[in-house]
């Protein structure tokens, strides 16, 4: 029905042609084309027969003119297609380290060899995004202005919906459009909505890879999640159980979120906002039965307390190997590490992050994460926010994972 109506609307009388051109000009004067910065010079290259689809087809009511033109680029020809792609778009643009990005215009990306153009549907706000925008992260941009966002969900020019990342700088995922390596585009299950698909991979992989690739979790082992009340920590609890952990200990500050961690599979919880001595005693109590793996999203003082609890005080004691995987530094960028902690225990310290994990390991993990999420085995709460509100939402404290929608 819709296709028939569209084809019928392609044939116009001379009077209708004049009316359509007048309407095109009126829309431009009133800013209807501002989303893609289409000027009158651009729209005059659109044939009235094609434009009539936009005016007269009921199924297109509510569709933005710029989206319609982009979708009909095959009919409009290279002139309009290049005009749409070559003009500025809107994005979360970082102008100064330490300040939130602003919703601003930015140059439209053009795909190079090995890249694809992506129309962004959703991009989540993560600690790594904030860290890079602060200028203090090891992967922060070298030059500004730049677009924020390390990964997201979008559609390719083929229409395929994908999770993607690895954008070429200065482009990022918090934008209307971006470019990404074709190899870093992963098809998504239809049952996963855009917001969940955008929010899930980064925090999920942050525990999946340390457990599977770095620590090589064995069935039945005990996992301590240090920082279990955030989005990544709560996913870590679920993933540890999913991958075969026998006991999961969740440590964090927020008592309500610790209860949530219990409902997600944690066997034991520890409040880390206790006095230092009490926290050391709490860690020592759970360590009596052995802690095999620590997923550390905090570092700083909580990690120092844990190291003190693991430090041996008996030359004849049998050491228990504990693989501590440093993932984040929400509680501080450094710790004081006494040499005795390494000499008197079985503590092994590793790191997991961009630059320490092979890309192939990431490429193998993502489809598995999506598969488990599609069948409901991984849960993550999200909050959808218009990208235009990025500056106001950037530093907002939120238990749910914020997802920007362009």
222/123 Cα distance (integer angstroms): 33
Q: What is the pLDDT of residue 87?
A: 57
| pLDDT at 191 (0 to 100) | 94
**Residue 371: φ, ψ to 5°:** -65, -45
Please, are residues 246 and 218 in contact by the beta-carbon 8 Å criterion?
no
Q: Measuring CA to CA, which residue among 206, 128, 120 is closest to residue 163?
A: 120
Query: For 329-366, what is each residue's pLDDT tens digit?
Result: 888 999 999 998 888 888 999 998 777 778 888 889 99
Confidence at residue 360, expressed as pLDDT on a 0 to 100 scale: 87
pLDDT recorded at residue 155? 95
Its pTM stands at 0.73
Query: Could you list the pLDDT tens digit for every one of the 406 residues in the chain?
Result: 333 333 334 343 444 445 545 555 555 444 444 433 343 334 444 455 555 555 556 655 666 655 665 555 554 444 444 444 555 789 999 999 999 999 999 999 999 999 999 999 999 999 899 999 998 888 888 889 999 999 999 999 999 999 999 999 999 999 999 999 999 999 999 999 999 999 999 999 999 999 998 999 999 999 999 999 998 999 999 999 999 999 999 999 999 999 999 999 999 999 999 999 999 999 999 999 999 999 999 999 999 999 999 987 766 667 789 999 999 988 899 999 999 888 888 899 999 877 777 888 888 999 999 999 999 999 999 999 999 999 999 998 887 899 999 9
pLDDT at 227: 95
- Cα 342 → chain centroid: 36
- Contact by Cβ (8 Å): 84, 69: yes
Give, rounded to a whole angstrom, the gap between the first and last alpha carbons of the chain.
31
CATH 3.90.180.10 fits 89-199+380-405, yes or no: yes
CATH code assigned to 203-351: 3.40.50.720
Give the torsion sign (CA, 19, 21, 22, 28): positive
> How far, in whole angstroms, is CA 42 from its chain's centroid?
35
Q: Are 370 and 344 in contact (CB under 8 A)?
A: no
Confidence at residue 36, expressed as pLDDT on a 0 to 100 scale:
39
Where along the chain do its domains lie? 2-86, 89-199+380-405, 203-351
**pLDDT value, residue 8:** 36
């Amino acid at each position: 029905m819709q296709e028939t109506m569209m084809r019928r609307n392609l044939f116009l009388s001379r009077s209708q042609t004049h009316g359509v051109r007048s309407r095109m000009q009126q829309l431009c004067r009133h800013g209807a084309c501002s989303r893609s910065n289409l000027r009158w010079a651009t729209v005059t290259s659109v044939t009235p027969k094609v434009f009539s689809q936009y005016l007269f087809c009921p199924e297109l009511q509510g569709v933005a003119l710029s989206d319609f033109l982009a979708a009909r680029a095959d009919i409009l020809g290279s002139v309009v297609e290049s005009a749409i792609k070559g003009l500025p778009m809107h994005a979360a643009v970082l102008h100064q380290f330490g300040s939130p990005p602003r919703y601003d215009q930015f140059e439209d990306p053009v795909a190079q060899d090995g890249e694809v153009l992506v129309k962004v549907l959703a991009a989540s706000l993560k600690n790594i995004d904030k860290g890079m925008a602060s200028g203090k992260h090891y992967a922060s941009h070298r030059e500004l202005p730049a677009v924020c966002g390390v990964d997201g969900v979008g559609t390719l020019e083929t229409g395929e919906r994908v999770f993607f990342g690895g954008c070429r700088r200065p482009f990022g995922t918090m934008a209307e459009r971006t470019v990404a390596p074709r190899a870093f585009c992963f098809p998504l299950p239809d049952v996963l909505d855009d917001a969940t698909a955008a929010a899930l991979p980064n925090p999920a992989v942050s525990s999946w890879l340390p457990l599977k690739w770095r620590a090589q979790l064995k069935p039945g082992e005990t996992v301590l999640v240090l920082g279990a009340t955030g989005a990544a920590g709560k996913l870590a609890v679920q993933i540890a159980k999913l991958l075969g952990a026998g006991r999961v200990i969740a440590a964090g500050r927020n008592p309500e979120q610790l209860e949530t961690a219990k409902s997600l599979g944690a066997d034991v919880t520890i409040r880390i906002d206790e006095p230092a001595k009490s926290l050391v005693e709490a860690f020592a109590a759970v360590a009596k039965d052995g802690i095999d793996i620590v997923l550390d999203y905090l570092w700083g003082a909580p990690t120092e307390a844990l190291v003190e609890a693991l430090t041996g005080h008996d030359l004849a004691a049998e050491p228990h190997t504990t693989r501590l995987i440093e993932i984040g530094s929400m509680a501080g960028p450094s710790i004081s590490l006494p040499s005795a902690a390494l000499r008197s225990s079985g503590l092994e310290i590793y790191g997991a992050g961009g630059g320490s994990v092979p890309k192939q390991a990431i490429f193998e993990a993502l489809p598995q994460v999506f598969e488990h999420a599609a069948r409901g085995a991984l849960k993550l709460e999200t909050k959808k926010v218009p990208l235009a509100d990025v500056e106001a939402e950037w530093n907002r404290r939120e238990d749910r994972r914020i997802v920007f929608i362009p």
